[in-house]
Amino acid sequence: QVQLVESGGGSVQSGGSLRLSCAASGYTYSSYYMGWFRQVPGKGREGVAAIRRDGTTNYSDSVKGRFTISQDNAKKTLYLQMNSLKPEDTAVYYCAARIPASSSGGYLGAIMYNYWGQGTQVTVSS
């Protein structure tokens, strides 16, 4: 059974940095892609960044240039380096995986993912 476990959330002041990690386990597929999403109360889950097995990345316009998604395939670990954080980045951040990968694209669409972590809170104060 696929499991995704996030860590690294917390509180930081505006302009600060945080690094989220997501440890994946329970699968042997070599075809997959993974992403980070975030959600605030009363709103839908927003795609933040995604990365394919070959390292190709996608970012939402709201985080482009500030956030970096990366992966360690050997460790099956996904990362999200978040720099220049803003109060509007405050949300619960979720790690997600599509296993096996779909060829349909839409990498920042929550509907494309079939496995989710439990979420980790990120709070940015002004």
Judge whether 21 and 79 are in contact, CB under 8 Å: yes
Find, among 33, 36, 113, 22, the residue nearest to 75 by Cα. 22
Residue 81: predicted pLDDT: 98
Residue 61 predicted with pLDDT over 90: yes
Q: Calculate the average pLDDT of the chain.
A: 94
Residue 73: predicted pLDDT: 87
pLDDT bracket for residue 109 (50, 70, 90): very high
Q: b/e map of 30-50 (b: 16 or more CB within 10 Å)? A: eebbbbbbbeeeeeebbbbbb
3-state helix, strand, coil in the chain (%, to 5): 5, 50, 45
- pLDDT > 70: percent of the chain: 100
